[in-house]
Amino acid sequence: MRNIILFILVLFFGIGSGCIQDSNSDLTKLPVKFNYPSLGENVFVFDPEMDMKEIQIVLDTIFARQSARRSEFTTNRYALLFKPGKYELDVKVGYYMQILGLGESPEDVVITGAVRSNSRGNSVLVNFWRGVENLTIVPAVDTTVTWGVSQAAPMRRVYIKGNMNLFDKGYASGGFLADSKIEGRVASGPQQQWFSRNTQWGEWIGGNWNMMFVGVPDAPEEDWPAKPYTTINKTPVIREKPYLTINKKGFNVNMPELKLNSSGPGWVDNTDNKTVLQLKKFYIVRPDNDNSESINAALRKGKNLLFTPGIYSLSEALKVTRKGTVIIGLGMPSLEPLNGNSVMDISDVDGVTISGILLDAGLKRSEALMEVGEPGSPDSHAADPTFLFDVFVRIGGPHEGSVKSAIVINSKNVIVDHIWLWRADHGNGVGWEKNWCANGLVVNGDDVLIYGLFNEHNQEYQTVWNGNGGRVYFYQSEMPYDPPTADAWKHDGINGYASYKVADHVKTHEAWGVGIYNVFYQAPVIVDNAIETPAALEDKIHHKIIFWLNGNSDSEVRSIINGKGGPVNQSVRKATLK
């Protein structure tokens, strides 16, 4: 117990500015034994043989720090790992807390009690940047797991032996669930929109604006727009997110293999094949030790990367040139540019995997924060695509920052599984001239596929699609809140910018479950189209909804797509098209 008291004192009083880089090494004096390479000061590994009361104190102490209102943009990051076995705990999940089981199956780590995300007040609209993966939850109080979240809060590879609520108090604004099993009922309640993939449950209840299910055998039946459901029976192609395991020799990274036309979680019937990478194949990146030079040196040596929790300021881009490179973030690390550079440039090669990282725009404007492939990349990667899992971008929020286009995809056959591109509407460094970003996403490569595209508040087109053969399963987008005048948001004689723009030259493109929302707080803004596509592709954008949320009473979005559908304004708040 003495170590626990010391931990609390250090956590609250001994870390100075609160930056993870300043964390005191006394944090490692917790009753946790590291008989393997260090994964960073703010990674805690729990064993079922430990005293549950001591574990609970550690969890509660971290949560208390990460759940306060000021914690939304804290620099502290935590990864809490559980070795296989049974636990009796109440795991409250706050900002930048990643909860991970270390078993081969989610059933190897069983937490009886709760693993939950609750509201901080009247809603969970800003419950961002947290996650739970690879464990079983047995709810012990009311048979229900409360997962009240909005964006950037993935739940993956989780088995819930009970019911699940996707809300707590008040409204919630979208979330992501994949590769999971819920024995009982999933209730969406006031969730405005939600994306689920390769998951099974006993029953789904509720739905407001836009609920999408891909590869979910028990999904609600479509009846759009009478019911807000979009259901795709099979997931066309996916490789599940990498996950950590542990054995007597230490940590491994399991890399699930590509699967086609799948339904439900593969781990339930052991149909998921995987490749196992030993941790020695990874360079362990630490915020107190590494910079662009040392990380690029490790990449040149053929190492994969595991970023430990923290903030990484990079003077030049990380250069990913080797096919099959794996880059994993543990505890939601943040990477930011110092000199107007990009954070990561990925060559046009096969099978790169990027998972679990935040990209924060820097004070000096960058052209892009991440670029996948060089312009004009010619090669097909259909047999071994590059994957982006749980990549989250912020322009403003933690601090002022600007970028022209947050992520640019030039390579073909890239697959994205959950992404949130957010020009901040609140926080630090926020304003029309402060956190500038034209486009959240620009896709130039052919045959790019995205599951769960969240893209919000950028100052021109949110999404620009220039490649052929693109597919998007679920789109959530809010237009910018803060155009200062109607004229400031016009171009080429057109009022406003469409959120979803498919270029005039594109011949093939398809999207399902496309939700676009607007709040214009300052000027009375007029937007001609929420979606713009070539005329021949209008019917390939399925289940479209636009919604007037709030703001200036004279604002209006005049049509859903190419002058058709709508409008929405203060009097008519919702419009849909099939």
Closest CA to 324 of 305, 343, 344, 296: 305
The tokens describing 414, both together, are: 């890239």
Kind and range of the H or E element at 543?
strand 541-551
Q: Which residues are CB-contacts of 466 (< 8 A; sequence separation ≥ 6)?
A: 442, 443, 444, 503, 505, 506
| DSSP code string of 72-115 | GG-S--EEEEE-SEEEEEEEE--TTEEEEE-SSSGGGEEEEEEE
Q: Tell me the C-alpha distance between 310 and 446, whole Å.
A: 35
Is-contact 145 164, C-beta < 8 A? Answer: yes
Which letter does DSSP use for residue 70 in this model? G
Kind and range of the H or E element at 247?
strand 243-247
Is-contact 413 380, C-beta < 8 A? Answer: yes
Kind and range of the H or E element at 12?
helix 2-13
Q: Tell me the C-alpha distance between 118 and 115, whole Å.
A: 10
Closest CA to 468 of 497, 500, 510: 510
Q: What are residue 88's phi and psi, to 5 degrees?
A: -120, 100
Give the distance from CA 574 to its chain's centroid. Answer: 27
Is-contact 55 300, C-beta < 8 A? Answer: no
Which letter does DSSP use for residue 568 in this model? B
Closest CA to 479 of 512, 444, 509, 523: 523
Q: Tell me the C-alpha distance between 428 and 397, whole Å.
A: 5
Is-contact 143 124, C-beta < 8 A? Answer: no
Q: Is 478 labeled as catalytic in the residue annotation? A: yes
Helix, strand, or coil (residue 69):
helix
Q: Which of 41, 240, 400, 478 is catalytic?
A: 478
Q: Which residues are CB-contacts of 9 (< 8 A; sequence separation ≥ 6)?
A: none
Q: What are residue 32's phi and psi, to 5 degrees?
A: -130, 125
Q: Tell me the C-alpha distance between 48 and 219, whole Å.
A: 35
Q: Tell me the C-alpha distance between 62 and 11, whole Å.
A: 8
Closest CA to 205 of 226, 182, 187: 187
- Return the active site residues: 478
